Amino acid sequence: MAKLYFYYASMNAGKSATLLQANFNYNERGMRTMLWTAALDDRGSGRDGGHDGERDARQVDAHAIESRIGLHAGAHRFTADTDLYERVTAAHAAGPLSCILIDEAQFLAPEQVWQCAHLADKANIPVLCYGLRTDFQGQLFPGSAVLLGIADSLVELKGVCHCGRKASMNVRVDGTGAAVSEGAQTEIGGNERYVALCRRHFSEALGR
């Protein structure tokens, strides 16, 4: 029986690299996969001059998923309106899929998480989701909250704080490196905007 998996971690803990390794393992054994990532995170699409969310929901962006260690793979991009169940089952009918891998899973809408569950339960296709658990204020992302509630398997990938403890939180910083405590939940950025910290140093950075 197929399962829904949620691999979660702080920033820079190797989520994308782990996804790409899993994808490689499937492909090496001749199994067909389908990769997805969020349309709003377009940091990997600069090679083709950017992207359009609706176009990318229908086409594969060749560098949509990239890891910090230089690995990359093409992927479809989902928006809040993408029907993942319909898209995946259509592709599965055209040629059997052995696994679905989703990067930036925290940006899934709650209904899309349920669509992933239906893919496992009804279509018997394993779905592996990789993403953040909480935002820069320590609040759950809506998609992550549903994944934590209904996924068959929860796996924490370990990041490292500057103190050597496990990094489980993400702090947003400004141009001077100071922690930011207010703002929109979603703001795309890399090491220049986010730092992974343990809970103690996250609390200290936000003055809690």
Q: Which fold has domain 4-158?
A: Rossmann fold (3.40.50)
Q: What is the mean pLDDT of residues 121-146?
A: 96
The whole-number pLDDT of residue 60 equals: 77
Give first-to-last CA distance, the chain, whole Å.
44
104 in active site: yes
pLDDT at 203 over 70: yes
From the list 28, 66, 86, 104, the catalytic residue is 104
Is pLDDT of 189 > 70? Answer: no
d(CA 93, CA 89): 6
What percentage of the chain has pLDDT greater than the value 90? 70
Beta carbons of 131 and 141 less than 8 angstroms apart: yes
**Which tokens in the block code for residue 100?**
């679905």
Band of pLDDT at residue 49, cut at 50, 70 and 90: very low
Domain boundaries, the chain: 4-158
196 forms beta bridges with: 170
Is pTM beyond 0.75? Reply is yes
